[in-house]
Chain A
Amino acid sequence: MLRQTNLLSGLLFIVLGLAFGLVATGYRFGTPAAMGAGFLPVSLAVILSALGLAIVVQSHLRAAEPVEWGSFWPLGVVVGSIVLFAVALRPLGFAGACFVTVLVSSFAGPRVSWLQRLVPAIILAAVASVVFAQLLGLPVPLWPSFAW
């Protein structure tokens, strides 16, 4: 029964509201005339939780709509390739980071040959390097730090 979009989103909003609210209790609340840093966050968090609760209640009145999570493979590969970009930027340089990100992310899609993965990776890395590093002057080392 937890596999239902409305119920699950309601619960998610309640939890998020509680989390935001609890953290915000650490900030000074203040008064309406002189609001502290915590005034709006706490108020918004309470509203979020209340809305979440209303969504949970409403979900019992409406027809259930099941959540279809689908395969987590694309999610994992895509997120992994993004993290890789951030990590690879210093050691591999901009061109290298672009290349590995495109190459790795291509595994999130359907099966294609290695050539069909490598060629786009090389082309995109080259185009991105020219456009962003050369033309737009992104302050980032273009080549691997061990190159010279």
Chain B
Amino acid sequence: MDLLNSLALGFSVAVTWQNLLYCFAGVLMGTLIGVLPGLGPVTTVALLLPITFALDPVSSLIMLAGIYYGAQYGGSTTAILVNLPGESSSVVTAIDGYKMARAGRAGPALGIAAIGSFIAGTFATIVIAAFAPVLGSVALKFGAVEYFSLIVFGLVASIILAQGSILKALAMVVLGLLLGQVGTDPTSGVYRYTLGFSTLADGISFVALSMALFGIAEVIFNLQKGEERVDGVVENVGRVLPTRQDMMDSAPAIARGTLLGSLLGLLPGGGALLASFAAYTLESKVAKHPRRFGHGDIRGVAAPEAANNAGAQTSFIPMLTLGLPANPVMAMMIGAMMIQGIQPGPQVMTSQPQLVWGLIASMWIGNVMLILLNLPLIRVWVALLKVRYTYMFPAIILFCCIGAYSVHNSGFDVMLMAVLAIGGFILLKLRCEPAPLILGFILGPMMEENLRRALLISRGNFGVFLDKPISLGFLIASALLLAAIAIPGVLKLRQTAMAAQ
């Protein structure tokens, strides 16, 4: 009955008129920006992050979560109607979705994506509600030793989906950890890497860094390619509601996609991308007429859409219970929590129940809003698809400037963002992915604190990480993961996934 009480608490928080409003605003704005071609959920969340600073912690996280799944759904719309997936997790949706749209079935494709996402979201919300407390209470028993090994595991896992060489992704993690060292050393009070700037004593602004990497550097990269003309927008959407036959075909696909997505979302480094690919592959294996896949099969839309929404939601579990971000969006949620003065970690579950449960309840409400919003507003989204990048990119730059400025009201942070953007651009050109860096940056201070505490208790004996069973388990898991990435079979799956991007 504990669960019911907690959910009741959650709904009592989420169903206040102002939180409903922020949830709605988040879903609406997330979809609005996410629909724009070329803007994925990560960029969308980064751009809209500053709007939430003025709110209280609960409302701001509710709104951010709304922005996230709104953007995710917006990306699917773009994938189906223009074959321009804004983010890698909707790449597979584009395969069959766009074919359906070209064949005059855009409406049912969008409809089934919304319905599949809703079912998956509902299921994932229940999974979160059931598992978060369990995991949270286990995590509370973790000491510094276990925590350090868990963070190592999280960092190793974050490189699974990085493009190109594993070594480069690892180096990006380490670079992120080093950037996280900038600022005042919490133990000795020494200023590290501040280069004489007193404004750097608080460390590099997280918002400036994420906007530089995911906003500005991307803009420069896209501008260099020249404007990609958005061709072949399917404007005739038609009837959105899928037929009975569509529903019957999709139901098992949605169910399998939901289960697979919920599971993969839990893994650090997994989340939506892995989920949608795995679900599509699974469907094409188990389907009765696999040949229809790739030629506008509705199951090829339903399964990955259900999976990526389920994965997006269950990736909140490690974030809420352990303070571990599974992907860059979760890293931003953690950044937002810290800006709001909440220290992420297992204690959040007990010290801020109204925050955690309010957020969980709002996810379900957000999914309802998403479906209510999207079916009637499809035509507006279609119009947005035609916005030219020429008019979009100055707005992105302006939003990044305002965002970087608004955290500390400091022009220095804006300058810092410009410098970091140059670095981000160079790294993009050298084919180094920014996602592992941002996770390293977020987890760096946490890792140092736990490493220090663990070695203080063990009197400098590194063997302590191998002596404790849970810690040893995480380290073995990290080693296995590294080995697995190097095994050809997994390598091939990665390559197909990357090639499709």
B97: shortest Cβ distance to chain A, in Å? 29
**A143 at interface (Cβ–Cβ under 8 A)?**
no
> Can you give 15 A-B contacts (C-beta < 8 A)?
A6-B168, A9-B168, A32-B460, A32-B462, A33-B456, A35-B451, A40-B448, A48-B171, A55-B171, A82-B415, A86-B405, A98-B398, A108-B223, A110-B390, A136-B53
User: Inter-chain contact count A-B, CB under 8 Å?
Assistant: 189
Residues of A within 8 A of B400 (CB): 82
Task: Confirm or deny: B230 has a beta carbon within 8 angstroms of a beta carbon on chain A.
Answer: no
CA distance A87 to B411 in the complex (A): 7
Choose among A27, A86, A90 the residue that contacts B190 (Cβ–Cβ < 8 A).
A27
Provide the bound-state CA to CA distance between A121 and B393, in Å. 12
The reply to whether A45 and B188 contact each other, CB–CB distance below 8 Å, is no
Q: Which residues from A are CB-within-8-Å of B377?
A: none
Interface SS of B by simple majority: helix
CB distance from A145 to the nearest CB of B (A): 14
Q: How far is the CA of A12 from the CA of B430 in the complex (A)?
A: 10
Whether A74 and B224, one on each chain, are in contact in the complex, defined by CB atoms closer than 8 angstroms, is yes
Which of B10-18, B106-114, B177-185 lines the interface with chain A?
Answer: B177-185
The chain A residue sitting closest to B54, CB to CB, is A136
Q: How far is the CA of A126 from the CA of B217 in the complex (A)?
A: 26
**Which residues A72-108 have CB closer than 8 A to chain B?**
74-75, 78-79, 81-83, 85-87, 89-90, 97-98, 101-102, 105-106, 108
A20 to B178, Cβ gap below 8 A?
A: yes
A142 contacts chain B at the CB level, 8 A cutoff: no
| Contact status of A33 and B455, CB under 8 A, knowing A110-B390, A124-B394, A132-B406 | yes
Known: A28-B188, A44-B174, A44-B181. A6 touches B397 (CB 8 A): no
A34 to B462, CA, bound (A): 13
Interface membership of B241, Cβ < 8 A:
no
| Chain A: interface size category | 35 or more
Find chain A residues with CB under 8 A from B405 CB. 85-86, 89, 138, 140
The 10 closest A-B pairs by CB, nearest first: A33-B460, A32-B460, A74-B223, A86-B414, A37-B190, A86-B411, A9-B430, A37-B185, A70-B224, A51-B171
Q: How far is the CA of A76 from the CA of B412 in the complex (A)?
A: 19
Q: How far is the CA of A81 from the CA of B402 in the complex (A)?
A: 13
Q: Does B263 lie at the interface of the complex (its beta carbon under 8 Å from any beta carbon of A)?
A: no
Known: A9-B432, A48-B178, A105-B393. A138 touches B409 (CB 8 A): yes
A75 touches B389 (CB 8 A): no
Say which one of B338-346, B362-370, B421-429 lies at the interface with A: B421-429
- Complex Cα distance, B222 from A78, in Å, reads 12
Give a binary string over B380-407; 1 marks a CB under 8 Å from any A CB, 0 the rest.
0000000001110111011011100110
In the bound complex, CA of A131 to CA of B395 (Å): 14
Q: In the complex, which residues of chain B have a beta carbon less than 8 angstroms from the beta carbon of A63?
A: none
CB A98 to nearest CB in B, in angstroms, measures 6
Q: Which residues of B contact A44 (CB under 8 A)?
A: 174, 177-178, 181
Partner of A28, one of B190, B417, B455: B190
Given A24-B192, A33-B460, A83-B414, 18 additional A-B pairs, CB 8 A: A5-B430, A13-B171, A16-B178, A33-B459, A34-B456, A41-B193, A51-B171, A67-B430, A79-B421, A85-B414, A97-B401, A98-B398, A102-B394, A106-B394, A109-B393, A120-B395, A121-B394, A128-B402
